[in-house]
């Protein structure tokens, strides 16, 4: 759902999701009739992707330094 995706993107802007942000997203999903378990799965996957991407960028910067 586009509204859920927008909230997830906003929450991930700083590279993490707080409990408050997670609660807001899940509450919105529930009000829209979106399966909460699916939203949780999407949240976790996007957060993992972001952390993996950031770790890779840091590694590449360090590696190119040497």
d(CA 21, CA 10): 9
Confidence at residue 26, expressed as pLDDT on a 0 to 100 scale: 96
Instruction: Give the global pTM.
Output: 0.75
Cβ-contact 12, 45 below 8 angstroms: no
Collapse the DSSP code of 34 into the 3-class scheme (helix H, G, I; strand E, B; otherwise coil) and give the result. Answer: coil
Q: How far apart are CA 59 and CA 66, in angstroms?
A: 11
Report the number of secondary-structure helices (H) and strands (E) in the chain. Answer: 3, 0
Q: Which helix or strand (DSSP H or E) is residue 60 part of?
A: helix 36-65
pLDDT given at position 53: 72
Q: What tens digit of pLDDT does each residue of 17-65 get?
A: 999 999 999 999 999 999 999 999 999 999 888 888 766 566 566 656 5
pLDDT (0 to 100) of residue 51: 80
């Amino acid at each position: 759902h586009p509204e859920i995706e927008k909230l997830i993107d906003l929450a991930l802007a700083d590279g993490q999701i707080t409990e408050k942000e997670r609660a807001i997203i899940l509450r919105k999903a529930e009000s829209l009739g979106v399966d909460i378990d699916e939203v949780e799965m999407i949240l976790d996957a996007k957060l993992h992707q972001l952390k993996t991407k950031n770790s890779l960028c840091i590694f590449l910067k360090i590696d190119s330094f040497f």
